[in-house]
Amino acid sequence: MAKVRISSLAKEFGMTSKELMGHLEEMKIPAKSASSSLEDAFVAMVKKQLAPVIEARAAEVEAAKRAEEEAERAAEAEAAAKEEAERLAAEARREEERRLSQEAQAAAEAARAAKEEAERRAKEEAEKAAREAELEAKRRAVPASDSGMRFRSLLDQIAEQEVVLKEKKAAEAAKPASDSRSDRGGRRGGRNAGQNGAATTDAPARTRRRSSAPAANMPDNFPPSPDKAGKGKKGRKGASHENHEGEDRYARMAREAEEYSREKVLADARAAVEEASRESSGRRKKRKEKRAAEAAAAAEERKIEEALAQGINPEDLDAVKVSEGVTVAELAEILEVSANDIIKRLFLLGTPLTMTQTMSNDLVELVADDLGRQVRIVTAEEENSFSFYDAPEDLKSRPPVVTVMGHVDHGKTSLLDAIRHTNVWSGEAGGITQHIGASEVQINGRQITFVDTPGHEAFTAMRARGAKITDVVVLVVAADDGVMPQTIEAINHSKAAGVPIIVAVNKCDKPEANPDKVRQMLTEYGIIPEEWGGQNMFVNVSAKKGQGIDDLLETILLQADVLELKANPDTFASGNIIEAKLDRGRGPVATLLVTRGTLHVGDTIVAGQSYGSVRAMLDQHGNHKDEARPSDAVEILGLNSVPAAGDEFRVFEDARDARDLAEQRALKARIEEQNKVKHVTLETLFDEMSQNELKELNLVVKADAQGTIEALADSIGKMDQSEVRINIIHSAVGAISETDVTLAMASNAIIIGFGVRPQPKARDAAERENVQIKTYSIIYKAIEDIDAARIGMLKPTEEEVQTGSAEVRDTFRVPKAGTIAGCMVTEGEISRDDKVRVVRDGVVVFDGSFGSMRRFKDDVNVVKRGYECGLGIEKFQDIKVGDILEAYKIVEVARTE
């Protein structure tokens, strides 16, 4: 079922996490921190109860949103108005420019017309002057007769007119060039008024004198001859702005208008260019931004894919990684804030800590949340495991890696030997195979790698260390013996690891062999032959006679084909250590299985806390190899210490990095030793469920009878498993063994014992690995506990504390007192008022109180370890030599959060 984080829920409700936590507390809903998650059922409840608050909050939020929208709209309207005003201003500017330009054009037009007019007049006057000169010449040449007189007077009249004209021209030429047209018109008018009459009377003598060179006295520039005008025009074309002396007003206006237009055109062109370049750079910028956004989106997608491929929650990608057990100072450094800031926040949270104190995961998350930062707590296991991502196109087929499992004496070793012997390399002298913990065999030109760790203990121990190296399990079942306890264990272990099982029904050479019966028996455990419509392939073999071996190998290859096993060989190598030891002559020797990349001699590697460069590489026949590819198992020399089986290894480019990592790990391991990783317990199940995505409770059930297991399984089956699924990953009759603890550890399971006790080694291992073992004598009590843990209401107020144990060495019959056990206290100390449990071969045969406690003839209250004593048990006489008497107390314990 889905779960929701309190912080997300708070966001949804529009309140702070703290506020929501307050409400949750009022509602008595357990929640530890803002990062805790709530089950759906609680979410519904919270929503219902907080409905009025949420609605009011929603209304507030809605109102705020509306106000914001309103403000946005107002801002938009203002922006639109501003834009419109700017547009209008620009238009007005353009209009003004257009008007000015038109005026300038009109002025230029007028100037041109005036110039033409002036030229036309000048030409006319010049023609007249020429005609007058001609007449004068003729007059002088004509004889003085009457008709001649008349003709002379006519010539005189003409000459007079010419004088008037010339004077007028001289007067005009004397005027400055810049005079306005109206001025000129006015003066011309005035002059005409004063001179008209007189000119006709005294003019002839002067006229005659002056008429010889009519055009010589005229100013050079006016009236301009067509030639000069042409020159002037030409000069103006190339002239600089200053060089316009003698230019008339209209010409200047025309020039200015022309210059104005040219400059305006240029300015417009420049502006257009600028605008265009701005636009294009804007477009370029936009394109660039778009490309960057696309690249970022693609990178993000890639990151998510990589994360998913590595089993990481993509939501955690942006989170800062914080190791478990970080100190205040370290967290400050990671989050790049001052340690004081964190200390202050911790203080406000009611948990004052100093710089060097370690913080719990909850505190780290709370502080980070407070700082608005996202963190991901990295467990030691995660920190020590490498994860890689390969592009699908880089992946190539790789051989399968197989582990053989089965009950004692069903022939695991014989089968592995048989497989190796049918595969002795032709060139190998004597075919001697060395034990390196793994072997590669060839069939039909294809490789299969067998990991020689017969038994599920080793397999699960590896898995517990995070090494998932096996692709296929070959389950060996003797055809004459059938399914036995360890067969079932092996099935459960393989299933827990999610590895497909191929069954090798062994010892088929034996006359009493009944392979079909084996098939039949296995169906009860969910192992159903393919030929019966199931998922598992079965092969009948005889390890002793070497029969069916090839068939088995081919079946393995078939299974491998189904699995489509792939790895990237073209990268630096990584994988797992299968076996390692200290060799007297060669130093640390490790067999490793390459799972990715190719390992070369000379590569620097880190394996767990060891590092070094690969000095030599050998295969199982002792032959030197230069490289090992995915699924290859090789023995290597060159590490500085002996790594542990199951450790991951990887190649490092820089030897210094390798050493740093190995040393860091060694240091961490020492710290971890003091601060062991806690596995789930019934008491903390609910918290784990809310904090981590734990939705399954795994149980290993051991009981004194098959009936008890069935009864428990039945009751569990009837529980509501909608929020947490309860899996019995392994159940068997018998004492709780070390293997059970290993399996529980690897699967984060709780061990439940009914009427059985853990073996001493199992108890030690459970203590060491923090695996919880709960023992019960009544089934409903166990069911009650599991159910309470499931719904998060377990409130253990009583806890059993073992005080000591004693071994029964002898028994005596004492009148009145009954049977007295002569015991040796082997652990702790036993008190007279302790409770006692009689354990025989790991099974509890009685649970009660002591009836008497004596040392020699004296009644005593306490006996310590290493002392003998006589113990009587109330209402129990059936004490036997070899029984273990476990003394314990029931103490009141407050529930630890």
Ligand X SMILES: Nc1nc2c(ncn2[C@@H]2O[C@H](COP(=O)(O)OP(=O)(O)OP(=O)(O)O)[C@@H](O)[C@H]2O)c(=O)[nH]1
Virtual torsion, Cα 137, 142, 145, 150, nearest 10 deg: -40
Alpha carbons 777 and 844: distance in angstroms, whole number:
9
Q: Is 408 annotated as a binding residue?
A: yes
* Per CB under 6 A, 482 contacts ligand X: no
Query: Which C-beta is closer to ligand X: that of 211 or that of 439?
Result: 439
Whichever of 452 and 886 has its CB closer to ligand X, that residue is: 452
| 757 lies in the binding site for ligand X (CB under 6 A) | no
If the CB atoms of residues 89 and 408 are measured against ligand X, the closer one turns out to be 408
Judged by beta carbon, residue 454 or residue 612, the one nearer ligand X is 454
| Residue 233 in marked binding region | no
Nearer to ligand X, 404 or 590 (CB): 404
Between 399 and 515, name the residue whose CB sits nearer to ligand X: 515
Q: Please report whether residue 784 would count as binding ligand X according to CB under 6 A.
A: no
Residue 268, Cβ neighbours under 10 Å: how many?
Answer: 12
**Annotation-wise, does 675 bind a ligand?**
no
**x-marked contacts with ligand X along 436-455 as a string, rule CB under 6 A:** ------------------x-
- The two most distant CA atoms of the chain are separated, in Å, by 206
Write down the H helix ranges in 677-824. 685-691, 706-718, 738-746, 760-769, 779-790
Give residues with Cβ within 8 angstroms of 893, minimum separation 6: 796, 797, 798, 799
Rg of the chain's alpha carbons, rounded to an integer? 55
406 is in an annotated binding site: yes
- Is 823 annotated among the ligand-binding residues? no
Does 143 carry a binding-site annotation? no
| 600 has binding-site annotation | no
> Which sign, positive or negative, has the C-alpha torsion 236, 241, 244, 248?
positive
Nearer to ligand X, 424 or 484 (CB): 484
Residue 409: CB minimum distance to ligand X, A: 4
CB of 417 to ligand X, least distance (A): 7
Q: Is 468 annotated as a binding residue?
A: no
Closest CA to 853 of 801, 806, 800, 802: 806
Beta carbon nearer to ligand X, 405 or 578: 405
Among 232, 399, 400, 411, binds ligand X (CB under 6 A): 411
CA distance 242 to 462: 99
Q: Segment near ligand X (CB under 6 A), from 404-412, 603-611, 636-644, 699-707?
A: 404-412
408 contributes a contact to ligand X by CB under 6 A: yes
Using CA atoms, how far apart are residues 86 and 90, in angstroms rounded to an integer? 6
Contact, 808 vs 845, CB < 8 A? no
456 in a labelled binding site? yes
Q: Name the E strands within 521-585.
A: 537-540, 566-567, 574-583
Residue 816 CA neighbour count, 13 Å, CB half: 1
Closest separation between CB of residue 541 and ligand X, Å? Answer: 7
Which of left, alpha, beta for 439 (phi over 0: left; psi -120 to 50: alpha)? beta
| Between 30 and 546, CB nearer to ligand X | 546
Instruction: Report, in Å, the least distance between residue 839 CB and ligand X.
Output: 27
Specify whether the CB–CB gap between 577 and 469 falls below 8 A.
Answer: no
Cα–Cα dist 800/818, whole Å: 28
Member of 506, 574, 609, 681 binding ligand X (CB under 6 A): 506
DSSP code, position 218: S
* 612 in a labelled binding site: no
Dist. CA 125–CA 214, nearest whole Å: 10
Shortest Cβ 479–ligand X spacing (Å): 8
Q: Which of 413, 523, 770, 849 binds ligand X (CB under 6 A)?
A: 413
Q: Which two tokens stand for residue 793?
A: 């209401």
Token pair of 620 as six digits:
């199982």
* Contact criterion met (CB below 8 Å) for 594 and 649: no
CB of 509 to ligand X, least distance (A): 5
* Residue placing its CB nearer to ligand X in the complex, 159 or 503: 503
Of the candidate residues 303, 373, 544, 659, the single one contacting ligand X (CB under 6 A)? 544
- Is 403 known as a binding-site position? no
Binds ligand X (CB under 6 A): choice among 507, 519, 621, 730: 507
Binder of ligand X out of 36, 211, 323, 414 (CB under 6 A): 414
Tell whether residue 453 is among the known ligand binding residues.
yes
Task: Give me the residue label for tokens 């790789």.
Answer: 398
Q: Is 507 annotated as ligand-binding?
A: yes
Task: Give the tokens for residue 399.
Answer: 């051989």
Which segment (83-91, 467-475, 542-550, 620-628) binds ligand X by CB under 6 A?
A: 542-550
CA 251 – CA 12 distance, rounded (Å): 81
- Measured from the CB atom, the residue of 513 and 662 that comes closer to ligand X is 513
Binding-residue pattern over the window 357 to 396 for ligand X, x denoting contact by CB under 6 A: ----------------------------------------
- Counting contacts by CB under 6 A, is residue 543 touching ligand X? yes
User: How far apart are CB 368 and ligand X at their closest, in Å?
Assistant: 51
Q: How far is the CB of 455 from ligand X (least distance, A)?
A: 7
413: annotated binding-site residue?
yes
Q: SS3 string of 55-85?
A: HHHHHHHHHHHHHHHHHHHHHHHHHHHHHHH
Tell me: does residue 509 bind ligand X (CB under 6 A). yes
**Residue 542 gets which letter from DSSP?**
B
Any long-range contacts for 658-661 (C-beta under 8 Å, 24+ apart)? 658/604, 658/605, 658/606, 658/611, 658/612, 659/611, 661/606, 661/611
Of 214, 399, 400, 406, the one binding ligand X by CB under 6 A: 406
Nearer to ligand X, 515 or 828 (CB): 515
Size of the site for ligand X (CB under 6 A): 16
Alpha helices in 350-448 (DSSP H): 361-370, 380-384, 412-422
Q: Draw the binding track, 285-324, toward ligand X (x: CB under 6 A; -: no contact).
A: ----------------------------------------
Alpha helices in 498-548 (DSSP H): 515-523
Residue from the set 510, 566, 659, 832 that interacts with ligand X by CB under 6 A: 510
Q: Does residue 484 belong to the site contacting ligand X (CB under 6 A)?
A: no
Q: What's the start-to-end Cα distance of the chain, in Å? A: 24
CA dihedral defined by 670, 671, 675, 678, rounded to 10 degrees? -70
Choose, by CB under 6 A, the member of 258, 330, 370, 409 that binds ligand X.
409
Task: Candidates 542, 555, 574, 690: give the one binding ligand X (CB under 6 A).
Answer: 542
> Between residues 37 and 506, which has the closer beta carbon with respect to ligand X?
506
| Rounded-to-integer distance, Cα 872 and Cα 853, Å | 7
Q: Which two tokens stand for residue 59?
A: 């209304």
Q: What is the dihedral of CA 232, 234, 237, 242, to 10 degrees?
A: -40
Region near ligand X per CB under 6 A, out of 75-83, 333-341, 403-411, 867-875: 403-411
> How far apart are alpha carbons 295 and 427 in whole angstroms?
55
Binding mask 121-160 for ligand X (x = CB under 6 A): ----------------------------------------
Helix (H, G, I), strand (E, B) or coil at 579: strand
* Contacting residue, 152, 410, 456, 774, with ligand X by CB under 6 A: 410
Q: Which stretch binds ligand X (CB under 6 A): 87-95, 267-275, 411-419, 625-633?
A: 411-419
- Encoded one letter per residue, x for contact with ligand X by CB under 6 A and - for no contact, window 454-473 reads x-------------------
Which residue positions form the known binding site? 406-413, 452-456, 506-509
Query: Which residues define the annotated binding site for GTP?
Result: 406-413, 452-456, 506-509
Q: Which residues bind ligand X (CB under 6 A)?
A: 406, 408-414, 454, 506-507, 509-510, 542-544
